[in-house]
A = this chain, B = another copy of it.
Amino acid sequence: MEMIAEIEKIPLFEGLPADQHRDLANIALRKAYKRGGTIFSEGEPGHGFYVVISGKVKIFKLSPEGKEQIIHIFGPGEPFGEVPVFEGRRFPAHAVTLDDTHDCFFPRQAFVDLIKTNPSRALNMLAVLSRRLRRFANLVDDLSLKEVPGRLAAHLLFLSERKDGSDTLELDIPKYQLAGLLGTIPETLSRILTKMTQRGLIEAKGPRMKICDRKGLQELAAGLKRLV
């Protein structure tokens, strides 16, 4: 069974000895979802957590009128849905797939039992949750302190950094999803992209973008300048 090979690749379980990877593989369940499938919904009781093996998962909140705020988009290797595991409560947000997706499911009780027998697993988990808290703190300050152009600039720079600072990059999600991730709507995003192009900050053809004025984007992202 190649489950164990997949588990070894999960950063969350990095640095653990082989027998513990086996323990994890023993409790893990494989699940598959079609693009657009719902993994869980806000308010449902959570009986375990997930790790993306392949595909993409969108975690989001929904307003009563149906506007969605994307909280995270997770790709291969990233865990999600872990909040209710340690709290014994319900999922705080929705999870649906953006592509055909495979993931591993770790049932709550079995996982907690494993942690009890080995604290280093707990430390890994604590690190993951801490990192997520940090990302949340940044998301909160983006949403409340920066205007949309600043958030977009920050996101483009983030994508560029993820490509080792390359000036050309490609959006890996459709623009209307990006809008949700930035806490806005497609129309606004579109207008801002147009403006950024006119101002010579970027060049954009479809989903491929080129950063032309990195410093300008950085100033926007830092809130030092605004997009006039």
CB <8 Å contact, A134 and B86: no
8 Å CB contact of A126 from B118, B122, B140: B122
| Copy total for this chain | 2
> Which A178-206 residues have C-beta < 8 A from chain B?
183
Residues of chain B contacted by A117 (CB below 8 angstroms): 119
Interface residues on A, range: 35 or more
A130 and B69 contacting across the interface, CB-CB below 8 Å: no
Could you say which of B65, B87, B119, B123 contacts A134, with CB atoms under 8 Å apart?
B87
In the assembly, what is the distance between CA of A136 and CA of B69, in Å?
13
The stretch among A8-16, A141-149, A157-165 that forms the contact with chain B is A141-149
Within 8 A of B (CB), among A118-135: 118-120, 122-123, 125-127, 129-134
Specify which of B93, B116, B144, B146 is in contact with A183 (CB 8 Å cutoff). B144
Given contacts A92-B137, A123-B112, A130-B82, contact A224 B64 (CB under 8 A): yes
* Chain A residues in the interface with B (C-beta under 8 A): 61-65, 67, 69, 71, 82-87, 89, 92-93, 112, 115-120, 122-123, 125-127, 129-134, 136-141, 143-146, 183, 222-224
